[in-house]
Structure 1
């Protein structure tokens, strides 16, 4: 699914698909992992782990035994934390280290890869400390290395007194055995156009690009690419837990992080202390990942309409139209003009759409995008160019994030391999939800041509009392991870509590602008108390219109790409 890395900017959460679609490339956003080349083509994972809190998951697979062996080694070795490399841009007192994990958990004594980890120690008293809190911001393809910096934010300070804040880069991301599928310069080529209703010639072009991108993943990463999966991300998490010296896991997963967090809960229920699932992916195996992407494209259309209604409400500021349809016509006018002549020579309709996709993720983008569109139609292209043009020096990180996204989602589950299925489904959906449908399809289309073994998604499910109480947070109008995913996750995790932000759609709600949500979040992590099966919070305040856009904040952690 197209999603963005949750918590892409300090103090706000962002989801699983990256918010920008790289031009000139097929930009892709599940779940047992594949065995080694000599093993069977598909790892069939058994049903839910047994209810008792065993040190070794009860499915009895080689991967289960391999995870236990790797965790035991990690517990003995620990993590040697020290000064962070300059490339991480993490100031003191943040420390960095590495954890070794098997590339293939079925062969724990075989090849290993090294994951980067960051930490800042709890600021409270020794008596107040509750262990390490590990965070994943989503993706697939996003890094959580900067999570320790959240300890300085007001909304997170109470938690930072009780917990060491621990971030990490999942396998394939950043310096953690990085993946690449294409020359970054080609991946981020701009300007480029991407029609919302493509003709047959354009479809043929994108099919060729997707086929080449999938081929590039195999050529550049080799056969090891098959081991970049959601199940292995869950297993890696258990090894990191052990390396930190923690008997039980405290974890906050956002967006895509909720999916492999749910896999962890299914595989290792006895290893869980507290888990927060923020903006939950629908874990139904039938949804992973093709159907989830279609649902996401449908949901973005509704959220796109929310933004247009808000802009129309403030027509006295932006002059883009008094109705949402008027605002849509203003956007389409800009899109047509940009396809003829790129804005600032760097922004085509693909970059335009990628920039405006962010209004579907976060309310924080509403005012600045409205201002940029208004100025562009008045003849001033500078604000739009500043907000939508590719970020200088970011191509390598963006291609890396996209490569991990592609590998994980393509490995995780079967995808349609007949182009006619993609064409029929997306053509029908684009008639009612044109804004994001085809760009989302192009991002995921390499999975139609994936030559690596496919996995069978794990049936996420826990038995009654097998898992400690967990907390799910969701916004009712979230587009990146539609709300029904939170309901499905709650149904599958026995005893889970769901907090809903009503009439709101920002992707990622913990530690943000809703005091009610933050109260439930903090109470759970500090005291282990949940609000019962379901609690509701009112929406956060609507953004205020601005007559001038604040400078666009480009956070290195928020790799632009669509996610779940």
Structure 2
């Protein structure tokens, strides 16, 4: 369950190996080293040559992209299967805003990916006008794109969007045996839907292919070397790219890094994430308790938890607005674990609900019908990539044992995360063995890693592990903070390191630390109402 939005103001191929049907544990990872002679690597080179010759014909963006000028849109074709570069091609959508500065000062294209798997960065060019990005936007073309499977890029779907967003859901914190069986049945059906809808193409939605697609995009943009910024999951396939194509790298920013160790992909990373979210959930409750005079939810984190559980029990019994049950409530508050921008909103929603006004909670937590297609599509790509990338346990008892044990320590996210990933236990497509992310000293230009110390979606040890695997990488840490995706956000120190790196190539010697950004300002619904009142006449 990875983040998909970084703040905008706020090997080469491994052979596909099937997991044995009776496997209880994911096999100990047998990571593969990059090999420049594989069919997939040669296929990538051929596809990149074709893309360089064809370029990208940028024009007015289709209405479906909802991108105003000066953004321009185009497409690039990539092989579905890089071992067969002359076989079936798929089309990726691309967006761009040209560098705003003088042509002589242009440094190239900055390609961005916000994570997921399953997120699009088609919106990214619009960040060029934001204050935090303006100097970078003067020097770089800002390039966004929809990775394979996402949006209009060879769309992947596993279920009817209407069924996917069906609400309310209950998702009990302590699931009964009957509920667990219900979720097992649902996971099997979802995995079957992915296989049925995608057919033989399903196996090709992988992180390795996302890295190869990135090299074809680089070539199509006319860039000899790539400048890339990836957030969350984007750091993982960015690291794969650095491993596969180190000589094609000009610069790379890894914002909120996934732990790339092969044994972590993806089952154990998700367990670590669930544990980390418990700490971030405590951070939120501590902040709410500090502002008890505003929210009246309790002056200790435990009292705030009691208020939350009271609301959870109420919506489980009678869903708010007929659509917000316990599942929707948990999902809404999980966002507060990703981004503290949500803290005041979520605290207000709890406070108002307990005062008899459910409207803020309904507005914040109810599924949005207009987002159903995007939500289902993003989940389908997330599932396909993570299930294809590595071995997963295929015995439910392993999942049950691990998550039951973990939920005793970290009840907030554990089971919700397990249900999201459970289709991987019943996946029919072949699984890969993860690539060993590692680059020889001197093979890669200096790179920059950004990490918040209390990030739950990509726990901090992942940033340390990535730095160990990329010699010459510098790590900037935002101490005591937990926002997921910190580049271009609220921390001027972090942004200074980011801007310096992208504009000059300079990094801290090895590690630098930034004080945390300012905590959110508590603004209650009542205070906002007071602020909107007409000023008295004088």
Interval of TM-score (by shorter of Structure 1 and Structure 2): over 0.9
CA RMSD of aligned residues (A): 1.8
Cα distance between partner residues in 2 of 1:483 and 1:210: 30
CA contact (8 A) 2:32 2:434 kept: no
CA contact (8 A) 2:12 2:36 kept: no
1:285 — aligned with what? 262
Shift of the 306–231 alpha-carbon distance from structure 1 to 2, 3 Å rule, reads same
1:402 — aligned with what? 379
Shift of the 35–160 alpha-carbon distance from structure 1 to 2, 3 Å rule, reads same
Query: 4+ residue runs of structure 1 moved beyond 2 angstroms?
Result: 30-37
- For these two proteins, the number of residue pairs brought into alignment is 519
2:87 — aligned with what? 110
1:432 — aligned with what? 409
1:387 — aligned with what? 364
Cα distance between partner residues in 1 of 2:213 and 2:223: 14
Return the offset for 1:344: 1.2
Return the offset for 1:59: 2.5
Return the offset for 1:394: 1.0
Return the offset for 1:11: 1.6
Return the offset for 1:63: 0.4
More helix by proportion, 1 or 2? 2
TM-score by length of 2: 0.94
Cα distance between partner residues in 2 of 1:80 and 1:264: 25
Cα distance between partner residues in 2 of 1:487 and 1:175: 35
State yes or no: 1:144 paired with 2:143. Answer: no
Residue 112 (structure 2) aligned to one of 128, 135, 138: 135
Cα distance between partner residues in 2 of 1:355 and 1:169: 25
2:22 — aligned with what? none
Shift of the 111–297 alpha-carbon distance from structure 1 to 2, 3 Å rule, reads same
CA contact (8 A) 2:12 2:40 kept: no
State yes or no: 1:91 paired with 2:68. Answer: yes
Cα distance between partner residues in 1 of 2:509 and 2:254: 16
1:47 — aligned with what? 33
Cα distance between partner residues in 1 of 2:137 and 2:466: 28
Cα distance between partner residues in 2 of 1:59 and 1:68: 10
TM-score by length of 1: 0.90
Residue 516 (structure 2) aligned to one of 503, 525, 539: 539
Matches within 5 A, 1:166-185: 166-185=143-162
Return the offset for 1:114: 0.2
2:26 — aligned with what? none
**5+ residue gaps in structure 1?**
13-29, 38-43, 49-57, 552-564
Matches within 5 A, 1:194-343: 194-343=171-320
Q: Which has the higher contact order (CA 8 A, sep 6+)?
A: 1
Question: In structure 1, the residue corresponding to 2:384 is in which secondary structure?
Answer: helix
State yes or no: 1:373 paired with 2:350. Answer: yes
Return the offset for 1:391: 1.0
Residue 11 (structure 1) aligned to one of 1, 9, 12: 9
Question: In structure 2, the residue corresponding to 1:407 is in which secondary structure?
Answer: helix
Return the offset for 1:479: 0.2
Return the offset for 1:10: 3.6
CA contact (8 A) 1:145 1:168 kept: yes
Matches within 5 A, 1:431-470: 431-470=408-447
Shift of the 150–521 alpha-carbon distance from structure 1 to 2, 3 Å rule, reads same
1:506 — aligned with what? 483
Cα distance between partner residues in 2 of 1:284 and 1:409: 14
Return the offset for 1:236: 0.1
Shift of the 414–306 alpha-carbon distance from structure 1 to 2, 3 Å rule, reads same
Return the offset for 1:3: 1.9
CA contact (8 A) 1:36 1:104 kept: no
Return the offset for 1:35: 6.0
CA contact (8 A) 1:312 1:322 kept: yes
